[in-house]
């Protein structure tokens, strides 16, 4: 439980008053109130009412007297962005910057049982550490004396993504701070390949590897308009990184330039590549379509002729004349 220093001031003041005033019955603690200028504490018994006033200066002196280890845990308000495979420091420090060497420093995640890192009794404690973090966490021993409880995490993994708590505890005081960690991995430059002729156009496929989190894949024409494309196909490798792939069937236009863009919105990363399809390839696709249509027509005609021939032959064998 975190003590409210103003409430504690009242408690000590009122108890002290109760000792000095020898009255029968039990002192009742009614309320306390404070502002930047004063602190008001009220106590009542059957015979007396007592009010005490503290100035801001006297309040600070009182806190130093009864709570010399009072501190606040601070950290970044924005998420910490870490790159997969590299090291990262999660900032956490005390205000005022009193030494944390004699305190307990615990890093943990709310959705996990166990600690990410635990420092207690002047040494690291590994018994309750989450297995995934063993050998990858450390504090800065010299910086602890300056109130720096930051955590160094080596070999960042995609599973390190999430919310962390920096918890610092003294014998009669504690405070904590939440820190969000975002893991990113920027993938390879996308590659466009021509798969062939399909549905009257040319099928293009765009592929990029090594992303985290999963990015978007967008196909665009030369004017930046989105093209109709198939669904994005994804695969995950042994490091939990994404390979993304998406196909689009393009048709000949005024400009045969097409762009594949990979967008990682969470960490504001974009990679893109463009390709220009020569008109001859589209003409070849058109020629193939014409040839295919002619071939199909010929096949239908030949097939029909063969069927008619066998039909006539069959009926002649049965003595049935066919009048043309």
Q: Model confidence over 80-110: pLDDT tens digits?
A: 999 999 999 999 999 999 999 999 999 999 8
How confident is the model over 302-312, as a mean pLDDT? 65
How far are the Cα atoms of 87, 93, 213, 264, 279 from residue 227, in angstroms, in the given order? Answer: 39, 50, 24, 19, 19
Residue 211 predicted with pLDDT over 90: yes
Helix, strand, coil share of the chain (percent; to 5): 25, 40, 35
pLDDT at 159 over 70: yes
Interacting residues of 304 by C-beta distance below 8 A, sequence separation 6+: none
Please say if the pLDDT value at position 18 is more than 50: no
Residue 89: count of CB within 10 angstroms of its CB: 12
Backbone torsions φ then ψ of 186, nearest 5 degrees? -90, 125
Q: Tokens 């007297």 correspond to what residue?
A: 65
> How far, in Å, CA of 286 to CA of 315, rounded?
44
The pLDDT tens digits of the residues spanning 266-279 come to 889 999 999 998 87
Q: Are 211 and 264 in contact (CB under 8 A)?
A: yes
Q: What is the pLDDT at residue 252?
A: 82
- pLDDT at 301 exceeding the cut of 60: no
Picking from 82, 107, 312, the residue whose alpha carbon sits closest to that of residue 185 is 82
- Widest CA span in the chain: 139
Predicted local distance difference test score (pLDDT) of residue 311:
64
> What percent of the chain lies above the pLDDT cut of 90?
56
Average pLDDT of the residues in 218-231: 94
Give the chain's end-to-end CA distance (angstroms, integer). 107
Span 127-138, average pLDDT: 96
Question: How many Å apart are CA 200 and CA 105, to the nearest integer?
Answer: 66
Among 211, 150, 151, smallest CA distance to 183 is for: 211
127 or 55, which is more confident?
Answer: 127
**Res 23 pLDDT > 90:** no
User: Band of the pLDDT at 25, cuts 50, 70, 90?
Assistant: very low
Q: What is the CATH number of domain 191-277?
A: 2.60.40.10
Query: What does the pLDDT read at residue 32?
Result: 39
* More confident of the two residues 149 and 43: 149
Predicted pLDDT of residue 70: 87
Average pLDDT over residues 200-214: 94
Looking at residues 300-317, what average pLDDT do you find?
Answer: 65
What tokens appear for 13 in the block? 């003041």
Order of strands across the sheet with 49-54? 28-34, 39-44, 49-54
Q: Is the pLDDT of residue 263 over 80?
A: yes
Six-digit token string for 70: 């009072």
CATH class of segment(s) 72-184: mainly beta
Other Cβ atoms less than 10 A from the Cβ of 35: the count is: 9
Q: Residues of the chain with pLDDT > 70: what percent? A: 65
pLDDT of residue 218: 98
Range 141-161 average pLDDT: 97
Q: Which residue has the higher pLDDT, 69 or 23?
A: 69
Identify the pLDDT of residue 201: 86
Mean pLDDT of 220-229: 92
At residue 232, does pLDDT exceed 60? yes
In sequence order, the 6+-apart residues with CB closer than 8 A to the CB of 185 are 83, 84, 85, 158, 210, 211, 212, 241
Q: Mean pLDDT over all residues of the chain?
A: 79
Cβ distance 197 to 285 under 8 Å? yes
Residue 8 pLDDT more than 80? no
Confidence band for 284, pLDDT divided at 50, 70 and 90: low
| Section 172-192 average pLDDT | 96
- Could you tell me the residue ranges of all domains in the chain? 5-66, 72-184, 191-277
- Name the helix (H) or strand (E) containing 80: strand 80-83
Q: Do domains 72-184 and 191-277 have the same CATH topology?
A: yes
Task: Among 9-13, 163-167, 243-247, 288-292, name the one with the lowest average pLDDT.
Answer: 288-292
């Amino acid at each position: 439980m975190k003590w409210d220093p103003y409430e504690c001031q009242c408690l000590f003041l009122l108890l002290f008053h109760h000792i000095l005033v020898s009255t029968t019955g039990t002192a009742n603690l009614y309320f306390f109130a404070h502002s930047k200028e004063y602190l008001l504490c009220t106590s009542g018994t059957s015979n007396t009412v007592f009010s005490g006033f503290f100035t801001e200066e006297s309040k600070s002196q009182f806190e130093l007297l009864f709570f010399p280890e009072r501190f606040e845990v601070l950290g970044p308000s924005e998420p910490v962005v870490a790159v997969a495979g590299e090291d990262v420091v999660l900032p956490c420090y005390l205000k005022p910057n009193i030494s944390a060497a004699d305190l307990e420093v615990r890093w943990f995640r709310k959705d996990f049982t166990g600690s990410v890192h635990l420092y207690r009794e002047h040494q690291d404690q590994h018994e309750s550490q989450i297995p995934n973090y063993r050998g990858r966490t450390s504090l800065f021993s010299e910086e602890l004396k300056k109130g720096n409880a930051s955590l160094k995490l080596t070999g960042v993994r995609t599973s390190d993504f999430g919310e962390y708590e920096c918890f610092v505890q003294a014998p009669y005081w504690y405070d904590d701070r939440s820190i969000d960690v975002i893991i990113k991995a920027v993938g390879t430059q996308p590659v466009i390949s021509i798969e062939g002729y399909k549905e009257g156009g040319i099928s293009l496929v765009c592929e990029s590897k090594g992303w985290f989190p999963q990015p978007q894949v967008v196909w665009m024409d030369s004017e930046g308009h989105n093209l109709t494309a198939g669904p994005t196909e994804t695969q995950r490798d042994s490091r939990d990184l994404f390979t993304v792939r998406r196909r689009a069937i393009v048709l000949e236009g005024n400009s045969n330039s097409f762009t594949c863009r990979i967008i990682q919105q969470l960490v504001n990363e974009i990679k893109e590549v463009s390709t220009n399809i020569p008109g001859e390839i589209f003409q070849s696709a058109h020629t193939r379509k014409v040839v295919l249509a002619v071939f199909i027509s010929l096949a239908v005609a030949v097939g029909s002729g063969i069927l008619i021939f066998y039909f006539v032959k069959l009926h002649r064998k049965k003595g049935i004349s066919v009048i043309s």
